[in-house]
Amino acid sequence: MKTRVAVLHQMHLERPYTTSKPLKIEEVILDDPGFNEVVVKIKAAGLCHSDLSVIDGNRPRPLPMALGHEAAGEVISLGPGVKKLKVGDHVVFTFLPSCGACSYCQTGRAALCEPGAEANGNGTLLGGHKRINKDGSYYFHHLGVSGFAEHAVASVDSLVKIDADIPFEIAALFGCAVMTGVGAVVNTAPLKFGDSILVVGLGGVGLSAIFGAKAAGASQIIAADLNPEKRKIALSIGAHHVIDSSQEGALEDLMKLTGGGVDVSVEFAGAISALDFAFQATKRGGITVTAALPHPDARLQLSPESISWTRKNP
Ligand SMILES: [Zn+2]
Ligand SMILES: [Zn+2]
């Protein structure tokens, strides 16, 4: 079938992107879905910083690639062998397909699925195929989703069925921002009832982490961002305190506020200074989690003593 997708042909274009326009909207041919694949009519898609990380070359991917990895839609046709979904089902895409059979999937760590990671690295669907072509030349898929499109072919293992009464524009956020932010707090850390938490970086992922912290019963939620508008939003959705970690004395203030650091700190800002702040703010025996994408050449410097030994009192 014919459809339209947003394609990236070249990374590292000059900013501003409003002038260089790295994404081109193109009419393409979507192949019929293969084994365990379906066609989804995209109803909503979110723009995430990870899309920008491909566009600016921070996380290079094979090109040309049809971008977008946070989307929701409706299943409109099925390939052979599909049992999990039917036509008319509403679905959210997950940017990490899980095969269900590898050692990670079988031990409850589907986010580390090895065939899923390999397919994502190769820019194919989970089965190893590409289904988008223009004049016979195939485009790569972005994390099994390629959601900046009118339609997408996807593996059933990249899709989660949702209730039909959930609005698509809200459902789409569960494909990346909510999954990443809430998952970091409740699965990766995991935050225990009554723990204190620091959330650094208040984009869609960080704000979702605040929801996760509330749901998990955090006793004290501190939110940090350089942008005062984002700090205001954090307060309005449940953060107890907000800080600007770039300000002189911010770490000392946090230490006083928490009585020596937080139980859990989660970082989504993408700057090494932010990750360093999150680590320094974590109390002895606490946990620091990062899901950000700093530049691959960036390095976090840690003293081994700071990992294993007591923190200096501020
Ligand atoms: Zn994302
Ligand atoms: Zn797997």
Residues by chain with Cβ below 5 Å of ion ligand 1: 48, 50, 176
CA of 106 to the centre of ligand 2 (A): 7
Identify the band that residue 314 occupies on the pLDDT scale cut at 50, 70 and 90: very low
Q: Tell me which H or E stretch contains 241.
A: strand 241-243
Report the phi/psi class of residue 261: left, alpha or beta, with left for phi > 0 and alpha for psi in -120 to 50.
left
CA of 111 to the centre of ligand 1 (A): 14
CA of 183 to the centre of ligand 1 (A): 13
Q: Tell me which H or E stretch contains 208.
A: helix 204-216
Which-ligand-closest: CA of 95?
1
CA of 70 to the centre of ligand 1 (A): 6
pLDDT at 251 over 80: yes
Domain 2-175 in this protein, CATH class: alpha beta
- CA 255 – CA 258 distance, rounded (Å): 5
Which-ligand-closest: CA of 118?
2
- pLDDT tens per residue across span 81-116: 999 999 999 999 999 999 999 999 999 999 899 999
CA of 299 to the centre of ligand 1 (A): 22
According to the model, what pLDDT value does residue 132 have? 98
Three-state DSSP state, 153 = strand
Identify the band that residue 305 occupies on the pLDDT scale cut at 50, 70 and 90: confident
CA of 179 to the centre of ligand 1 (A): 9
Which-ligand-closest: CA of 292?
1
Which-ligand-closest: CA of 103?
2
Say yes or no: domain 179-308 is CATH 3.40.50.720. Answer: yes
**pTM for the full model?**
0.91
Over residues 138-156, mean pLDDT: 98
Contacting residues for 208 by C-beta, under 8 A, at least 6 apart: 173, 177, 178, 180, 181, 182
Map out the domains of the chain as residue ranges: 2-175, 179-308
Which-ligand-closest: CA of 114?
2
The token pair that represents 217 in the structure block: 């019963």
